[in-house]
Amino acid sequence: MAENKSKKTMRLPSLAFIVCLLISIASWIVITLSKEYKMTYEYKLVCDNLPEGRTSVTASDTILQLTFNQKGLRYLTKPFYEKEKVVTISVSELIKPKHKVTVYTFTNKEMCDFLSEHNFGPELVAVSAPEVLTFYLR
């Protein structure tokens, strides 16, 4: 008989504890998914759609650091979860408003506006690096 009293029986958690635990987990998920995140990714720059009469383009920098404003699970969408991130820029559309002959310079604000309009949409907050991007056409 003394043997039975020394054995400790495992008690199952009460139903109220389980309900509170489930409510707290659900609340944590809702709060986490409604929070806004700023994520910075590096993208390889690829140029296409050269203007008529031009054979090649060289950029001063081939890596762009882009900062995105994401909410919840939206940062898991295709442009953000790919291992090799590439951004393709249409050179003829990019240089359309400028009137230089072979060298075109763009600030990070101009690049952000262009990429927001043509590639990424309103999620793109800023082009973190480089400060100035120059294209040389031949």
Residue 20: pLDDT band with limits 50, 70, 90: very high
**Exposed (0-12), middle (13-18) or buried (19+): which is 110, by Cβ within 10 Å?**
middle
What pTM value is reported for the model?
Answer: 0.69
Q: In what order do the strands lie in the sheet with 103-107?
A: 57-59, 132-137, 103-107
pLDDT value of position 73? 66
CATH of domain 36-137: 2.170.120
Domain locations in the chain as residue ranges: 36-137
pLDDT value of position 44? 92
Lowest-pLDDT range, 31-40, 72-81, 82-91?
Answer: 72-81
